[in-house]
Amino acid sequence: MKRIGIARSLLYYHYFYLWKTFFEELGVEVVLSSPTNKKILENGMKKAVDDTCLPVKLTFGHLMDLADRVDYLFIPRLVSIEPDAFTCPKLIGLPDMIKANLENLPTVLDTCFDIKKGISLYQSFLELGQNFTNKTALINNAFQKAEMKQKEFEKTMEKGLTPEEAIDIMEGSPSPANNNPVKPRTEDLKIGLIGHPYNLYDNYINMDLIEKLRQGGCQVITAEMLPAPVMKKEAAAWREDIFWTMGRKMVGAAFHFFNSNRVDGIICCISFECGPDSLLEVLILEEARKHKEIPYMSLIIDEHTGEAGVVTRVEAFLDMIRRKR
Ligand code: SF4
């Protein structure tokens, strides 16, 4: 059986089941890289282009972790995944950066996803599937099942679960550490947590932020736990069009938290050296100034972020919300 490697980074947190189901339905074994660790981070920092963002550097490390264990590496070129928006330039150029900087890679499948150019999602998957079979019916069936499973994944997260918790449940192996994430411990605060999924859910690089908040008595709500139409509507109300798909989701979630009065505080977690985030944070900050009743904090993470700094800031933020109350 052929084996395909998927990095446990970047859009793994968005599309895991879409990709996994598609490949498995075509008889290909999916191999994930290990959860982020010191070696993955160090390898990524050594090999990645200097001025790229931390999530991309980590992806280099994850792909190096996979390279010897698989026949293929799946590094899609995601240009646009909705008709009127793009992903980010670093995601668009990712396959080129990887191929130019890492040696001895297995075959790289860098299928292009570009809905804005008129290439439907189905056409991209058809092209991807043709690497493994020439039976169109088999590819169609795999694509349909993949879409269904992805929807189930998204619905599961909307119950208040992180992607990893949703995966544990869908795979039938709930993690003991997260035995009841929907109604955790004694909680007296609700915190809206904004950021890219690869920053929010990679516990190694964010110093276990979600768990720290939960231990601190917070119910954490993220964009992945909100229905997509809610965020789309909020982002569309902004005076300018936001043309990054992931940025729209972040801004939509932030505006929803500010306008719905459902959280006691908002934390925005962004990557150092992320161009889109540096602009989006300004929009979110502008909104925060209009809603002074909701405490807001931004947390910038990079490869040098220390745990003590994160703990101190989070504890001070939660104390401040409780004192204000
Ligand atoms: S949106 Fe920012 S953090 Fe994400 S890949 Fe692009 S530059 Fe990196």
More confident call, 138 vs 271 = 138
> Does residue 161 lie in a domain region?
no
Pick the last residue of a domain from 155, 170, 188.
155
Q: Taking 90 as the threshold, does the pLDDT of residue 211 lie above it?
A: yes
Q: How far is the CA of 193 from the centre of ligand 1 (A)?
A: 17
pLDDT at 325: 83
Same domain, 277 and 187: yes
User: Residue 127's domain is classified under what CATH number?
Assistant: 3.40.50
Nearest to 17 by CA among 149, 140, 129: 149
Clarify whether residues 130 and 244 are in a common domain: no
Q: If you measure from the C-alpha of residue 247 to the centroid of ligand 1, how many angstroms do you get, rounded to a whole number? A: 10
135 CB-near residues (< 8 Å, 6+ apart): none
Q: What mean pLDDT is predicted for residues 132-160?
A: 96
Note the pLDDT of residue 272.
83
Listing DSSP states for 271-319 in one string gives ETT-HHHHHHHHHHHHHHHH-TTS-EEEEEE-TT--HHHHHHHHHHHHH
pLDDT at 250 > cutoff 70 = yes
5 CB near ligand 1 (under 6 Å)? no
Q: Is the CB of 269 under 6 A from ligand 1?
A: no
Q: Measured in angstroms, how far is the CA atom of residue 274 from the centroid of ligand 1?
A: 5
pTM of the model: 0.91
The CATH number covering residue 188 comes to: 3.40.50.11900
2 versus 184: which is more confidently predicted?
A: 2
What would the mean pLDDT of 159-171 be, rounded to a whole number? 94
Q: Please give the residue that has the higher pLDDT: either 177 or 172.
A: 172
Range of the domain at 289: 178-324
Residue 162 domain flag: no
**Does some domain include residue 169?**
no
* Predicted pLDDT of residue 182: 52
Neighbours of 178 (CB within 10 A): 18
Which pLDDT does position 181 carry in this prediction? 53
Q: What is the pLDDT of residues 251-262, one digit of tens each?
A: 899 999 999 989
Tokens of 61: 């490390």
According to the model, what pLDDT value does residue 174 have?
Answer: 62
190 pLDDT above the threshold of 60? yes
* Lookup: tokens for 15: 């599309």
pLDDT for residue 119: 92
Whether 171 is covered by a domain: the verdict is no
Kindly state whether residues 149 and 185 are assigned to the same domain: no
Instruction: Name the closest-CA residue to atom 7, ligand 1.
Output: 274
Tell which residue, 43, 44, 52, 25, has the closest CA to residue 139: 25
Select the more confidently predicted residue: 57 or 307. 57
The pLDDT score that the predictor gives to residue 183 is 53
Does residue 90 contact residue 77 with C-beta atoms inside 8 Å? no
DSSP state letters, 173-188? ---GGGS-SSS-SS--
Examine residue 236 and state whether it is found in any structural domain, yes or no: yes
Query: Do 128 and 190 reside in the same domain of the chain?
Result: no
Mean pLDDT, rounded, of the chain: 91
**134 and 238 share one domain:** no
Per-residue pLDDT band for 185 (boundaries 50, 70, 90) equals low
C-alpha torsion sign, points 236, 238, 244, 247: negative
Instruction: For 108-121, write each residue's pLDDT tens digit.
Output: 999 999 998 999 99
The answer to whether residues 215 and 93 belong to one domain is no
Closest to 225 measured CA to CA, from 261, 178, 182? 182
Domain count, the chain: 2
> What does the pLDDT average to over 101-106?
94
What number is the average pLDDT over the span 280-302?
Answer: 91
Q: Which atom of ligand 1 is nearest to the CA of 244?
A: 1
pLDDT of residue 202: 95
Count CB atoms within 10 A of the CB of residue 230: 15
| Ligand 1 atom showing the smallest separation from residue 88 Cα | 6
Task: Examine the pLDDT at 85 and tell me if it is beyond 80.
Answer: yes
Tokens of 256: 């929803």
Last residue of a domain, one of 122, 155, 188: 155
For the Cβ of 53 lying below 6 angstroms from any atom of ligand 1, the answer is yes
CA dihedral for 106, 48, 16, 246, sign (positive or negative): negative
- Cβ of 90 below 6 Å from ligand 1: yes
What are the residues whose beta carbons fall under 8 Å from the beta carbon of 83, sequence distance 6 or more?
115, 116
Task: With respect to residue 160, please indicate whether it lies within any of the assigned structural domains.
Answer: no
pLDDT for position 21: 98
CB of 275 closer than 6 angstroms to any ligand 1 atom: yes
Q: Is 276 in the pocket of ligand 1 (CB under 6 A)?
A: yes
- 257 within some domain: yes
3 state DSSP class of 107: strand
For residue 290, pLDDT beyond 90: yes
User: Residue 242 burial by CB count (10 A; 0-12/13-18/19+): exposed, middle or buried?
Assistant: buried
Same domain? For 183 and 318 the reply is yes
Cβ-based neighbours of 66, under 8 Å, separated by 6 or more: 5, 6, 7, 31, 33, 73
Question: Residue 76 and residue 52: Cα distance in Å, rounded?
Answer: 18
Q: What percent of the chain has pLDDT over 90?
A: 72
The answer on 121 and 57 residing in a single domain is yes
Does residue 214 sit in the same domain as residue 301?
yes
The answer on 114 and 10 residing in a single domain is yes
Confirm or reject: Cβ of 277 under 6 Å from ligand 1: yes
Shared domain check, 197 and 90 = no
What is the whole-number distance in angstroms between the Cα of residue 118 and the centre of ligand 1? Answer: 24
In a domain, 167, yes or no: no
Asked if 283 and 255 count as a contact pair (C-beta separation under 8 A), the reply is: no
Are the C-beta atoms of residues 318 and 189 closer than 8 Å to each other? yes
DSSP 20: H
150 and 8 within one domain = yes
In the three-class reduction of DSSP (H, G, I as helix; E, B as strand; rest coil), residue 237 is classed as coil
Residue 274 has pLDDT above 80, yes or no: yes
Domain boundary among 123, 155, 187: 155
The mean pLDDT of 71-81, rounded to a whole number, is 95
Return phi, psi of residue 268, to 5°: -110, 120
